[in-house]
A and B are shown apart, each in its own frame.
Chain A
Amino acid sequence: MSVNMAAVVVVRARRCSPSIKTLLHTYRNGHKSRHVLGARFCSIYTTDPIDPKEATFEKIMIANRGEIACRVIKTAKKMGIKTVSIHSDVDSNAPHVKLADEAICVGTAQARDSYLRMDRILEAIKLTGAQAVHPGYGFLSENAEFVQKLEDLGVSFIGPNANAITGMGDKLESKRLAMEAGVNTIPGFDGIVKDAEDCVRISRDVGYPVMIKASAGGGGKGMRIAWNDEEAREGFKLSSQEAASSFGDDRILVEKFVDNPRHIEIQVLGDKHGNAIYLNERECSIQRRNQKVIEEAPSVFLDEGTRKAMGKQAVALAKRIGYSSAGTVEFLVDSQRNFYFLEMNTRLQVEHPITECITGVDLVHQMIRVAKGHPLRIQQSDITIRGWAIESRVYAEDPFKNFGLPSIGRLSKYQEPLHLPKVRCDSGVEEGSNISIYYDPMICKLVCYGSSREEAIENSIKALDAYVIRGVTHNIPLLRDILTEARFVSGDISTNYLPEVYPDGFKGKQLTSQEQINLTAMLASVHLKNTLRSRNFVNQSRVKGSSKLPTVCNLIIKYGDKEVPCSVKVDDGNFKVTVNGATVTVNDQFDLASPLIEANINGTWETVQLIKLGPAGEIRIRYRGTAFQCQVVSQEVHRYFSLIPEKPKVDQSKQVLSPMPGLVKSIACGPGDMVAEGQEVCVIEAMKMQNSLSAATSGKVVAVHVKEGDTVEEEQILVELE
């Protein structure tokens, strides 16, 4: 799509006569109801509900994409505000475009050419006459320059003022302000690190371990932990590169790393009249590579006293900087419940829904109200903790690789578990959406709540089991496993949770012997059902004669490295499966076509997902979160298989493969170079994360198949060694 200003304002339809536009419009917008968060959504906002009589904006723009844009639009609609979306060309069909009343294309796929293009966004504001802009999170949400430009234009920014953003956006400045406001801070070096060697020297002064992070950073990007000189050097290099590419600012700072801390944050809300309140905490300790995976509110760890103390300090900071919107003050909390100020996020946080669930406050509604200049109607005393909420971030990523490396693809099937009670899905995708390398790989924020933590966990598990995502690799296996893991259930978590619980990385659901039996029984039943079906044509014109359908099958079921023999027979509308001496009954009520199977195994209901039935007995089934690639064959076939000689495996240690789709950032070797084991050969960037790839063995480089700036696929061979 053309990106010059004249052509920028092409709303949705291209190259079409008016009649087709109408047609396209009808077919693209005829099914809006499918991705509304659900009618239940409004029922949780009971504290300070929307007052239709209160003055508000007529039209606002949401300068963002994906789930957060959809989230803001939904509240705006309820408030009777017209909405304008911006989008890049690849997002033209995205839900946030369809949901909005107007949509404007602001450029091409790369964020810096569209969602970060202030000039075009400002142009779009003028063109549509939007009176205010909600920035969502990321992109321009914490950009003081943008806020200033809006102010010059006389357009309200639905967020804090420019000073607060500048003050809190810089880690050094924010630490100073926090200290002034009487907030506890972490010991560290408050100055800019010059180069790698300087970084090593400072790290030694502060004392290892240290945290090296981008001054302009946030969201875990450009952040690395170093335990020794070498890591400090490496960390400085990668962090500053990442910082440069993500924020356009490569300033780096170093501070003491609080070992084994919890990450707990306080939601604050301020207005333009000097009022500020806190909306309790969120526990965000389950993280990988400093990015949150599961958050909950409230925290199991905080007592009322600590909560109050943290809340008071957060409010003090908000008041000190004249904070007039929703914001978050992040703290590290050590095992003694000492808390240290980490940073303040001057935006609506990703994980805001859990706070909304337990407080009943619609934060977007409040942000819009205070941006309009209304004072807060909620008092601190109105804020209570009602039940428990857990947010599981469903990402398009492979949890088996380093707890999650981004993956891409098209959501060939997508079904949110909204049919379950107390489930909220904040997503900006729908069936058919593409998860591309250009943007954040988050698919959905699955928020489940209940009156107690146990109930919230239970609801989350049910919801994850019933969540259908096909076409991209996702992290539901990991999410579900964490939710059932003993340490998590007991509430004993910290930011080191993942590496401690899964020291060798996540390996998928480890089945108990009962679960193995159930899975085997399910597979055997599916196999027999399919076999019977495939031998029974509806329009079979010939008499079957002596050919009888099998009633008992002796099978071998293979999954992972296990081979389980079993036998299955049809018995009065049930499948009776004998495995390891135990007999399991599976009710024959399921069908082989639904993405979700509610299976009755020995009288208890289990949700399993039949992903694929292959032509040679392959069955891919999602059971308790993890997808198992299984093969079900008769005992005879299994014996024939065993007669087939194994094919030699290709030695992959001589190749460096891309672990994920992305962009080649740099290449550190050329053909003919000698590389040592573990030496970096190239860096792949995807979703703004840089991943250094190293040689698995020492050797001479024979070929480099890519060059800087190339887009690579997952498993693509990048470098070959001799």
Chain B
Amino acid sequence: RHDVNMAFPVVRASAGILRHHGLLALTGTNTASVRQCSVAHTLQVRENINKKRREALLGGGHKRIDAQHSKIMDQAMLVGAPVIGLNDSGGARIQEGVESLAGYADIFQRNVMASGVIPQISLIMGPCAGGAVYSPALTDFTFMVEDSSYLFITGPDVVKAVTNEDVTQEELGGARTHTTLSGVAHKAFRNDIHALLNLRTFMGYLPQNNQEPSPIRQCDDPWDRDVPGLDTVVPLESTAAYNMLDVVESIVDEGDFFEIMPNYAKNIIVGFARMNGRTIGIIGNQPKSAAGCLDINSSVKGARFVRFCDAFNIPLVTFVDVPGFLPGTAQEYGGIIRHGAKLLFAFAEATVPKITIITRKAYGGAYDVMSSKHLRGDMNYAWPTAEVAVMGAKGAVSILYRGKSNVAQIEKEYMEKFGNPFPAAVRGFVDDIIEPRTTRSRICQDLDKLSSKKLSNPWKKHANIPL
């Protein structure tokens, strides 16, 4: 029925059991085969579910299972194939004592070693508690199944006993909680099969490992396609919102955008798409949500995505419309300085091709952060609607001209002077002011040119990102 590859028997043998005990690793010689494995394996899971769960309850051979995990991960590292974990685990078995803890740690260690070498994806397909939640947390992406998967350190019973807090499993660690509130999971899917099919599509965006370039799929969408709708997408009113997803989806191949964390920190958009067949990572401020400002959550969300793309040779395309960092005590007490620095660090550190389009506002420190020219941006473009300045007219005038009566007049002058892309363009901080409709062809051309980009950071044991 399916073409069988070398990894297939491994999956077959272990799939049923592994599903209950934390991690399942899939290795394959190419992504296509990985995709086949995932669905073939579910069949096994479905049929064996009761039998294996009984076996698991009776307590048989966990050491062996842990060893098997480790073996698969080692193999994956050896051949440079992605690892996908299908997680459904209640945590450490108390009666096994320290041995089960050791088993977890072995897996954690391998997760960490594999991080940045091969893509690691976790799909949470059932309740995961205790130690079992840390392996997903160490992987690159965590996906969940709605209504049937949970992630928490301790379940509702323990919560009740310790803090006297009444909470349901779903509220504590359901897919909704983790994809909207905590940001632990990156996306949730309707059911198991839907999740696996999505995972299969998702894998198509990723390279096999950090040595390989981002994959290029055959592309029917003309690389030089004009997008006339972009000429009017930015409203004339500088304070009016628009949907950055409209911009992204109209530019990328066939409008296919695999968004990561679509419901968490919505003021920044991150996700994968293709340009002329080549996988790219997209980061964009979303003016529709909190005016597209950067806050703690969006900085962290963006930073982690940028670092993933950088680790796996996926070029970054950044769409900028940012009024600045969100001010206020909540943000300052929460440490916006150190969290905002993560995004800054990630962009500055990245050596993959970096293309930036300023669609409207690029104010203050947030301008610097959003993949600016100064952070080794390769191509930085501005639309004619761009405003690159230290701050908006209102704020600037109230500081510079405190107490003046003709505020409106001064604001207008300020806008004429700073509210446009020219000051940045004449200094070379913006490479070109482009017609929005040509954005797609510009990006495709640049990606072609930059495909041979070679840039490396000075040798170091590892950088010290402000965690």
Contacts and interface: CB of A to CB of B under 8 A. Distances in A.
A336 B277 CA distance: 65
B4 A542 contact: no
A428 B191 CA distance: 44
Interface stretch (B54-62, B114-122, B218-226): B218-226
Contacts of A582: none
B3 A547 contact: yes
A615 B258 contact: yes
Contacts of A647: 147, 190-191
Q: Which of B43, B202, B213 has the most chain A CB atoms closer than 10 A to its own CB? A: B43
A600 B219 CA distance: 21
Interface in B198-225: 198, 201-202, 204, 208, 212-213, 215-222
A194 B384 CA distance: 58
A101 B43 CA distance: 67
Nearest to A610: B254
A549 to B, nearest CB: 8
Interface in A590-627: 591-594, 612-613, 615-617
Interface string B275-294: 00100000000000000000
Given A1-B236, A546-B3, A616-B194, A538 B216 contact: yes
B464 interface: no
Contact of B236 (A89, A414, A536, A545): A89
Interface stretch (A72-80, A203-211, A248-256, A638-646): A638-646
Nearest to B225: A593
A30 B6 CA distance: 58
A615 B415 contact: no
Contact of A540 (B30, B198, B437): B30
Q: Which of B1, B198, B254 has the most chain A CB atoms closer than 10 A to its own CB? A: B254
Contacts of A14: 236
Contacts of A616: 194, 197-198, 201
B412 interface: yes
A546 B232 contact: no
A28 interface: yes
Interface in A1-21: 1, 14-17, 19-20
B220 A593 contact: yes
A666 B338 CA distance: 49
B454 to A, nearest CB: 17
B220 A27 contact: no
Contacts of A534: 32, 201, 204, 217
A540 B215 contact: yes
Nearest to B228: A431
Contacts of A547: 3, 5, 29-30, 32-33
A535 B190 CA distance: 25
Interface stretch (A228-236, A294-302, A368-376, A405-413): A405-413
A640 B249 CA distance: 31
A537 B43 contact: no
B236 A546 contact: no
B453 to A, nearest CB: 15
A225 B430 CA distance: 63
A430 B228 contact: yes
A17 B220 CA distance: 41
Interface stretch (B69-77, B102-110, B416-424): B416-424
Contacts of A39: none
Q: Which of B1, B193, B258 has the most chain A CB atoms closer than 10 A to its own CB? A: B193
A412 B249 contact: yes
Contact of A636 (B39, B202, B212): B39
B416 A93 contact: no
A692 interface: no
A92 B4 CA distance: 60
A31 interface: yes
B277 to A, nearest CB: 6
Given A544-B30, A616-B201, A640-B42, A593 B221 contact: yes
A696 to B, nearest CB: 26
B310 interface: no
A23 B433 CA distance: 10
B229 A432 contact: yes
Nearest to B215: A537
A433 interface: yes
Q: Which of B6, B147, B219, B236 has the most chain A CB atoms closer than 10 A to its own CB? A: B236
A28 B29 contact: no
Interface in B217-251: 217-222, 227-233, 236-238, 243, 246, 249-250
B382 to A, nearest CB: 11
A591 B236 contact: no
A401 interface: no
A538 B202 contact: no
A594 B222 CA distance: 9
A693 B32 CA distance: 51
Contacts of A16: 416, 420
A536 B32 CA distance: 8
Contacts of B64: none
A548 interface: yes
A326 interface: no
Interface in A369-417: 410-414
Interface string A514-557: 00000000000000000001111111111011111010000000
B30 A24 contact: no
Interface string A628-644: 00000100110011011
Contacts of B215: 537, 539-540
Contact of B420 (A20, A537, A546, A594): A20
B219 A432 contact: no
B193 A637 contact: yes
B253 interface: yes
Contacts of A410: 229, 233, 243, 246
Contacts of B432: none
Contact of B384 (A20, A93, A411): A20
Contacts of A431: 227-229
Q: Which of B201, B232, B237, B256 has the most chain A CB atoms closer than 10 A to its own CB? A: B232
Nearest to B249: A412
A648 B258 CA distance: 28
A594 B204 CA distance: 21
Nearest to A634: B39
B46 interface: yes
Contact of A546 (B5, B190, B435): B5
Nearest to B438: A27
Contacts of B228: 31, 34, 430-432
A636 B204 CA distance: 21
A93 B433 CA distance: 20
Contacts of A644: 191-193
Contacts of A28: 231
B155 to A, nearest CB: 23
Contact of B253 (A538, A544, A548, A593): A593
A610 to B, nearest CB: 9
B202 A542 contact: no
A59 B303 CA distance: 57
B262 interface: no
Contacts of A89: 236-237
B255 interface: yes
B250 A615 contact: no
Interface in A624-681: 633, 636-637, 640-641, 643-644, 647
A431 to B, nearest CB: 4
B1 to A, nearest CB: 8
Interface in A538-596: 538-542, 544-548, 550, 591-594
5 tightest Cβ-Cβ pairs between the two chains A and B:
A432-B229, A616-B197, A593-B221, A591-B220, A593-B220
15 contacts: A20-B422, A23-B433, A27-B384, A28-B231, A410-B233, A430-B229, A431-B227, A432-B228, A536-B218, A539-B213, A539-B215, A546-B5, A613-B254, A613-B256, A640-B42
Interface of A: 1, 14-17, 19-20, 23-24, 27-28, 30-31, 34, 89, 92-93, 410-414, 430-433, 533-542, 544-548, 550, 591-594, 612-613, 615-617, 633, 636-637, 640-641, 643-644, 647
